[in-house]
Structure formats: structure tokens, C-alpha cells
């Protein structure tokens, strides 16, 4: 009798697991960095600017957080504990897996570029938010939302390097940006970030280093939020 009970119990749990598995699907949010029409390749490729300059990108990292799906501007799904470090040197980090309900109806995706103030004041955290990832300043300045590093002959700096470390969560230098994009299919989303648009607006001979919260960091963060589009 007990043996039959355990068999029925196991069958019940298998049924529950299968039901739960069928009630959700896994989708991928794929980030694709580009420079104009060219794929972005770190370190090896040189990309032309509109002023005759050419640059090499050595590092591109940024935080994506608070991912939401919307239908007619109403939030219908939100990822819990939504913090992801996207690193152009790591192919796996460029693909964010999301577990969502099946047959979801939505026409927009919204996410933050950066880390909000609540998390910034919560102290040192782990996972993608671990300071060893190289995206954390101090408790006072918080997380780096966006990091771009490279070289340009126009830069009159050591080794012709430029460094843009953009962040800040305290007024008046809150650099967090909210990005909303129209989508057709939530099960397959590719987001392009075109760095050419940004770099063509920056004169690297004059502006080539931001390493702390500032009005410049906020200004560039707003510009960067406009680089994202759906492929």
C-alpha cells in the first residue's frame, strides 16, 4: 500500500513539474554592438570617424536592469532581481535569458541602462554586481553604468587612450537612463547599439576622459540611451 502511495506521489510531482514547465518559455534578449554597418570587434579592428580620425575600441561594458515587457504602455511582465552586465568581450553576457509566460502579448520592451539608486545604496553585492567585475567605484560614487575604452591618435594622452566611465546616482549627477523600444515578437529580440553615432559627436582631442559622476557623464549617458534600436 505504501509503495503504491509513493508511486502516485511521484507521478503527481512529475505532473506538477511538467505543468509548470509548459506554463513558461525562455526567450533571449540579444545585444549586438556595432560601429555603423560593421560589427564591433574589440582590439583588432579600427573604425573611421567623420573628422578623419580613426579609433580602436578595447573595452565595452554596460549594465542592463529592470527589464519589462509592455503592452500599450502597461507593464505586463517584469524580471525579478533584474541586473545584467553586458560585456563585449564575453559572448555569453551579450545574450540575456528571460523566463516569460507563454503567448504573452506585448509591443514594447523597457529596461534601464545602469543601476538605480536603491541598489547603489545597498552596499556591495554579488553576481554581476560584484565589484570584482570592474564596474564599481566606491560606496560614495556607486556603480559604473557604462564603460567605453579605446585609442585614437587625436587623443593627446598616454598611449593615445580614451576612457569613458559613466555613472552616478546622486542628484544632480544621476546618470541612469530608461530605454523603451518597440518589438514585434517577445520570443526573439535583438538590440543593436551603434557606437558610431556617439563617437562621431565626440572630439577626442578635447574630450577623452570621464572617470567620475559629473554633468558630462549625465550628458553622454543620455546620448548613449539613443544608440539602442531593435534589429
Q: 82-98: per-residue pLDDT in tens?
A: 999 999 999 999 999 99
> Which residues neighbour 69 within 8 Å (Cβ) at sequence distance 6 or greater?
75, 76, 77, 78, 100, 104, 106, 108, 109, 110, 186
Q: Of all residues in the chain, what percent carry a pLDDT higher than 90?
A: 78
What's the confidence (pLDDT) of residue 122?
86
DSSP conformation class of 170: S
Global confidence as pTM: 0.88
In the chain, how many domains are there?
A: 1
Domain that holds residue 72: 2-230
3-state secondary structure of 92: helix
Q: Which residue has the higher pLDDT, 57 or 122?
A: 57
State how far the Cα of 200 lies from the Cα of 197, in Å rounded to an integer. Answer: 6
Relative to beta strand 144-152, strand 54-71 is antiparallel
Amino acid at each position: 500500500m505504501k509503495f503504491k502511495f509513493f508511486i502516485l506521489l511521484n507521478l503527481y510531482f512529475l505532473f506538477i513539474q511538467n505543468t509548470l514547465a509548459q506554463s513558461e518559455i525562455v526567450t533571449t534578449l540579444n545585444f549586438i554592438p556595432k560601429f555603423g554597418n560593421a560589427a564591433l570587434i574589440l582590439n583588432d579592428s579600427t573604425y573611421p570617424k567623420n573628422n578623419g580620425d580613426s579609433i580602436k575600441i578595447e573595452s565595452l561594458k554596460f549594465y542592463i536592469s529592470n527589464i519589462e515587457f509592455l503592452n500599450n504602455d502597461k507593464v505586463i511582465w517584469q524580471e525579478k532581481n533584474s541586473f545584467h552586465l553586458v560585456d563585449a568581450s564575453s559572448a555569453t553576457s551579450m545574450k540575456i535569458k528571460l523566463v516569460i509566460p507563454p503567448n504573452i502579448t506585448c509591443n514594447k520592451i523597457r529596461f534601464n541602462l545602469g543601476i538605480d539608486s536603491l541598489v547603489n545604496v545597498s552596499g556591495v553585492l554579488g553576481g554581476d554586481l560584484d565589484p570584482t567585475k570592474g564596474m564599481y567605484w566606491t560606496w560614495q560614487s556607486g556603480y559604473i553604468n557604462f564603460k567605453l575604452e579605446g585609442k585614437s591618435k587625436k587623443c593627446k594622452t598616454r598611449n593615445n587612450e580614451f576612457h569613458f566611465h559613466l555613472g552616478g546616482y546622486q542628484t544632480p549627477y544621476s546618470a541612469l537612463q530608461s530605454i523603451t523600444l518597440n518589438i514585434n515578437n517577445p520570443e526573439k529580440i535583438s538590440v543593436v547599439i551603434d557606437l558610431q553615432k556617439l563617437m562621431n559627436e565626440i572630439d577626442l582631442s578635447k574630450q577623452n576622459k570621464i572617470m567620475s559622476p559629473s554633468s558630462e557623464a549625465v550628458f553622454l549617458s543620455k546620448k548613449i540611451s539613443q544608440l539602442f534600436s531593435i534589429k
